[in-house]
Structure 1
């Protein structure tokens, strides 16, 4: 496919010279040439200076991605082969870790292939495509996986459509189908995942370090409140670390059976834990009225959520969520505050924490902070790709500032 010439406006040239990978419409002098998804382009300054080579793939972030800044390197199978080989090499230690067999092996622009991520699940590979343009390379990537890895089977999630959402159909691509559930290991913990059951698998791989830290530091016999609990993975980690009781709250009906399953595959009795299908905000109000106190409160809400009674936006409403969480946290306890909203920047997120502490007259400190784990590699020239922000906030045991 013949490449087109995409020109960058003068004011944006230094940005792309420095390696910025995302093609934005505001930076392009002639974006009208981009009409065929997947078609490669040569990126040039107005005077013809070579800036990079990429492809057109429209998604919510922009118009496509730069894949190379080498003028004589075409976008072809050899380029993808090289990118995949380097990405696999970066995860060697994880492949050799006998306690973990699920992690990310290619993280989009962080590994030089914006628009695509690949996750590993105990011999199975899950590809996530974020534009129709990226998807034009599907056969090439799948073939390379079978040539270069131990792939038993390949699945995919097509996270694009005319409405910009998830394209839901049979996600199995080729090879052998995975069992349902597929059991995977993470730092010695077991989790049940489903590779062909909608947009999500049952486990958020980017929270691996947070789960392990909670498991290692949770107080013995602690009471844990896990909100927006999904399949209860945080609670499993806490229970295996010695927590005495967990309360899991999520508005989705399926969370009940999925959470029970996660406890069971780890040899834990679900009957020793509460699993509630309920609006988190409704639960918070009632729990505060009842005077409930927890040693650990976990907040991992979606960026945006709507239930029958509540609409939540992380950018607007996370502070209110923290205020309620602090009221439910016992002295000396921990609030684990997490967001994956790229638009909620670290400075603003910390401001929410301090404002909520002030409003609730809570004293304490941010004990530890997490960003994406090592396998979720981030491009230094595209810091927005480092979307995950997690703070473990320790509430003062005596009322004084820690």
Structure 2
């Protein structure tokens, strides 16, 4: 962390950098930095050598590093990191005082001023996720800041970066007391079983909190709800608590069955009265058409990229066709909740997929409402990709 390397910005990217664009990649710099070490401090300059910003080197799938400060004489040190985390916590104090929600994001990478690191809160436990070795080189400073700023029960971390050429989703207990798992947390009064010690996926995606609440409060009563790519069944639990007449959860992962049963059970819902199906979603769509099944609400929240034995799904290429499958089994005046976390296209393009899907099926629709990331997932206006979540509630006319 003591080395500082000079990096020159590509001329056409100088203005975005000056305005606060934080991501360094091989396209927007002209200097070769193959010899940089993870965590090296990078000083970005223009073509005349004038200071623009400074950050760190950390190879990850998004780029080669993050800019952190636009002040030439500001050091990237413990005090810098402490202040960033302190500011993030202060902006989320109201979450700490909520009795209905005990799980939320405390620090959201570049949105809170330090790309490559996120920190989530689960009822007194903090989970740090590192997205590059470069980010991880600051782990002592981040952990020490959490120690000093919070009254924590325990700290966990997950290393979400490649090591020795292999992508490793490693997790680690750092310090404090280990909870007995599942750790039960609340979100809008709904309980979730969380596992901080079981791989990258802890049991619920916190960025969908407002969407789940809306489904429960306004779209579920008396409805037959299909939840595709259902993971641990969080949308289904909310729908059932919102008075859905029946829920069907479909996911290819074998453990989705036991995980979904668990989430229903801790919320006092009879899981045997629901359908929980382990199957390729595309295969299920064909089955539903063949059996003439239809639903009042269909929830589509696929991963950006997924591969099964027979299908490879890319949201950027295949979302339109996924929507067409959903349209076919949605009742007239029913609702499709179309969601994607793919950051390579924006909401305008996503709505274009929706429009094309309905046109190609000779259908009509009305957009009812839309959502992006909730307030604890702070984003950066200068870096549009940070606001990756796009959710559209669509009425099939």
TM-score by length of 1: 0.96
Superposed, 1:170-319 pairs within 5 Å as 170-319=171-320
What residue number does 2:364 align with?
363
How many Å separate the matches in 2 of 1:301 and 1:71?
Answer: 42
Does the Cα contact within 8 Å between 1:335 and 1:393 map onto a contact in 2? yes
What residue number does 1:37 align with?
38
Question: What secondary structure is seen at the aligned counterpart in 2 of 1:167?
Answer: strand
User: Aligned in 2, Cα 1:164/1:145: closer, same or farther, shift over 3 Å?
Assistant: farther
- More divergent stretch after superposition (237-246 vs 219-228): 219-228
How many Å separate the matches in 2 of 1:15 and 1:162?
Answer: 32
Question: What secondary structure is seen at the aligned counterpart in 1 of 2:268?
Answer: coil
What residue number does 1:334 align with?
335
User: Aligned in 2, Cα 1:84/1:219: closer, same or farther, shift over 3 Å?
Assistant: closer
What residue number does 1:141 align with?
142
How many Å separate the matches in 2 of 1:238 and 1:325?
Answer: 18
What residue number does 1:23 align with?
24
Does the Cα contact within 8 Å between 1:101 and 1:185 map onto a contact in 2? yes
CA shift, 1:140, in A, is 1.2
Question: What secondary structure is seen at the aligned counterpart in 2 of 1:26?
Answer: coil
Structure 2 residue 110 is matched with structure 1 residue 109: yes
Query: Deviation string for 1:318-370 (max 9, x for gaps)?
Result: 11111111111111211011111111332221111111111222222111111
How many Å separate the matches in 2 of 1:40 and 1:379?
Answer: 22
Does the Cα contact within 8 Å between 1:53 and 1:74 map onto a contact in 2? no
What residue number does 1:393 align with?
394
Query: Deviation string for 1:62-108 (max 9, x for gaps)?
Result: 11111111122111001001100110011112112111010001000
Query: Deviation string for 1:123-150 (max 9, x for gaps)?
Result: 0011111110000011111111011012
Question: What secondary structure is seen at the aligned counterpart in 1 of 2:178?
Answer: coil
Does the Cα contact within 8 Å between 1:6 and 1:33 map onto a contact in 2? no
Does the Cα contact within 8 Å between 2:22 and 2:383 map onto a contact in 1? yes
How many Å separate the matches in 2 of 1:191 and 1:305?
Answer: 25
Task: Give the RMSD, CA atoms, in angstroms.
Answer: 1.3
Structure 2 residue 376 is matched with structure 1 residue 375: yes
How many Å separate the matches in 1 of 2:40 and 2:213?
Answer: 42
User: Aligned in 2, Cα 1:117/1:64: closer, same or farther, shift over 3 Å?
Assistant: same
CA shift, 1:43, in A, is 1.6
What residue number does 2:351 align with?
350
What residue number does 1:399 align with?
none
Does the Cα contact within 8 Å between 2:301 and 2:339 map onto a contact in 1? yes
Question: What secondary structure is seen at the aligned counterpart in 2 of 1:67?
Answer: strand
What residue number does 1:85 align with?
86
Question: What secondary structure is seen at the aligned counterpart in 1 of 2:333?
Answer: strand
How many Å separate the matches in 2 of 1:317 and 1:336?
Answer: 16
Does the Cα contact within 8 Å between 1:59 and 1:164 map onto a contact in 2? no
Question: What secondary structure is seen at the aligned counterpart in 2 of 1:178?
Answer: coil
Does the Cα contact within 8 Å between 1:183 and 1:193 map onto a contact in 2? yes
What residue number does 2:48 align with?
47
Does the Cα contact within 8 Å between 2:77 and 2:141 map onto a contact in 1? no
- More divergent stretch after superposition (169-178 vs 200-209): 169-178
List runs of 5+ in structure 2 lacking aligned partners: none
How many Å separate the matches in 1 of 2:116 and 2:312?
Answer: 29
Query: Deviation string for 1:154-178 (max 9, x for gaps)?
Result: 1111111147764244421111112
Does the Cα contact within 8 Å between 1:159 and 1:165 map onto a contact in 2? no
Question: What secondary structure is seen at the aligned counterpart in 2 of 1:25?
Answer: coil
How many residues are treated as equivalent by the alignment? 396
Superposed, 1:121-140 pairs within 5 Å as 121-140=122-141
User: Aligned in 2, Cα 1:26/1:285: closer, same or farther, shift over 3 Å?
Assistant: same
